[in-house]
Structure 1
Amino acid sequence: MNITESTATQLTIRGLDNLDSINVFIEDIAPKVGRITIESFGDAWSHAWGGMWDGYSAAEFFARCDDGYLLGKFARASSNMECIDFEALIDKLKTAVIEQRKDGDMSSTEARETWDKVEEIERHEGMTVNEIHAMDSIDIELISDLLGEEWYHSVPEKPSREARRLKLIIQAVREAFIAKGWFKQEVAA
């Protein structure tokens, strides 16, 4: 067994609007190699980079990366970064009813009844496509009839509440790194 001791820098960011305190652990392991771990209210995200740009510390590298890139790296282990956009799904189902009516695949009565069923679909904020199958209150057969058997591939999604929170945390960490002066040039947000 080999045991290695290293030094990490810890920052605590407090006093943020709509966010709990954030603890950030920054490790510069070797040139172009670093790790950042972020913790807030019991949730933690970590990512290590083995090929950062020449001469940048982990904090500098982080500060220069855009939100989408960092969100992808820190949220990689989480399966609930996207959730169903129920309003867009309802609109998509209504469009399918209109198209099927125009194509003669539905009578006006069938179209009206189907439209009403679409309107009755419960909207479950934050639900993922995988979770929708377990819901008795959502008519999967109706969705399949309108969008096809592989409808789940085309369900409109949006960033989940967790993804929106993580993005705010990433932005706060970047602002803290910039406030500490841990960069050499202008950063891209």
Structure 2
Amino acid sequence: MPTENKSTAPLQVERSTVTKLVITGAANLDPITVFLEDLAPCKGKITVSCWSKSWTAYWGGMWDGLNIGQFFCKLNTAYIIGYFDQAISPRQFSGEALANKAQITVLKERRGGELGQDEARELFTEAEDFRDSPSIDHLHSAHSELMSKLFGDEWWHLTNDATEPNPDYAYLERIIHAVQQALSQEHQQVAA
């Protein structure tokens, strides 16, 4: 149910000019839509969309003399990704990497005489179950006892390197590179 506006003052509406670009032809990417908005000197906003995802960033302290497109082109990709999605990381948990690490640990302990042949074989085989683990949280509920046997009571600290490249990060990185390339190309055409 709509709420009534009890204020008698009219709503304030501001207009701004937005530039829309559609980028096609980027290798292994769907068309990319970019909205650029220069709000005031040194202030701008960009929205990038590809397939069903969108990312937006606002900068209120851009370098003098640059519009949002020029500013965006000068930024480091990792910096932009941090603005677009603070939760995304270049690496993510990998059950494959964890299983490999666990099996290497078992082999080292067997060679060092800390594990007997049968116990080592059993742990080595059980470590295969890690390959299907989607996250550290899953390990807490499904394999906590085995993880403690292999890595000690605070095993979650020792699994930080059980990672692989994050395909979502790489995807966003490719999109940003395509947008920067297109913006630079457009800027060169306008300047010519």
Pick the TM interval, shorter chain.
0.7 to 0.9
Question: Are 1:71 and 2:81 counterparts?
Answer: yes
| Separation in structure 2 between the aligned mates of residue 161 and residue 14 of structure 1, nearest angstrom | 21
Q: 1:118 to 1:56 in 2, by over 3 A?
A: same
Q: 1:163 aligns with which of 151, 163, 169?
A: 169
| Separation in structure 1 between the aligned mates of residue 27 and residue 145 of structure 2, nearest angstrom | 43
Moved over 6 A (4+): none
Q: TM-score, normalised by structure 1?
A: 0.79
Q: State the shift of 1:40 in Å.
A: 1.2
Q: 1:148 to 1:56 in 2, by over 3 A?
A: farther
| Separation in structure 1 between the aligned mates of residue 181 and residue 47 of structure 2, nearest angstrom | 16
Question: Are 1:117 and 2:126 counterparts?
Answer: yes
Structure number with greater CO (CA < 8 Å, separation at least 6) is: 1
Computed over aligned residues only, the root mean square deviation of the Cα atoms, in angstroms, reads 2.6
Question: Which residue number in structure 2 is paired with residue 92 of structure 1?
Answer: 101
Q: 1:35 aligns with which of 36, 42, 45?
A: 45
SS in structure 1 at match of 2:164: strand
Question: Are 1:145 and 2:149 counterparts?
Answer: yes
Question: What letter is aligned with 1:147?
Answer: F
Tell me whether 139-148 or 2-11 shows the greater mean CA deviation: 139-148
Question: Which residue number in structure 2 is paired with residue 185 of structure 1?
Answer: none
- Aligned positions of 1:7-26 closer than 5 A: 7-26=17-36
Q: 1:96-154: CA deviations, max 9, x gaps?
A: 22343355542221111101111343346xx4444x35885xx3432233223443343
Q: Is this contact kept in 1: 2:98–2:130, CA < 8 A? A: no
Q: 1:23 to 1:66 in 2, by over 3 A?
A: same
Q: State the shift of 1:83 in Å.
A: 2.5
Question: What letter is aligned with 1:29?
Answer: L
| Separation in structure 1 between the aligned mates of residue 53 and residue 91 of structure 2, nearest angstrom | 18
Q: TM-score, normalised by structure 2?
A: 0.78
Which runs of no fewer than 5 residues in structure 1 stay unpaired? 183-189
Q: 1:13-47: CA deviations, max 9, x gaps?
A: 11222111110011111222111101111211111
Question: Which residue number in structure 2 is paired with residue 181 of structure 1?
Answer: 187
SS in structure 2 at match of 1:180: helix
SS in structure 2 at match of 1:19: coil
Which runs of no fewer than 5 residues in structure 2 stay unpaired? 1-10
SS in structure 2 at match of 1:121: helix
| Separation in structure 2 between the aligned mates of residue 173 and residue 128 of structure 1, nearest angstrom | 32
State the number of aligned residues: 177
The share of aligned pairs that are identical, in percent, is 34
| Separation in structure 1 between the aligned mates of residue 148 and residue 58 of structure 2, nearest angstrom | 41
Q: Is this contact kept in 1: 2:95–2:135, CA < 8 A? A: no
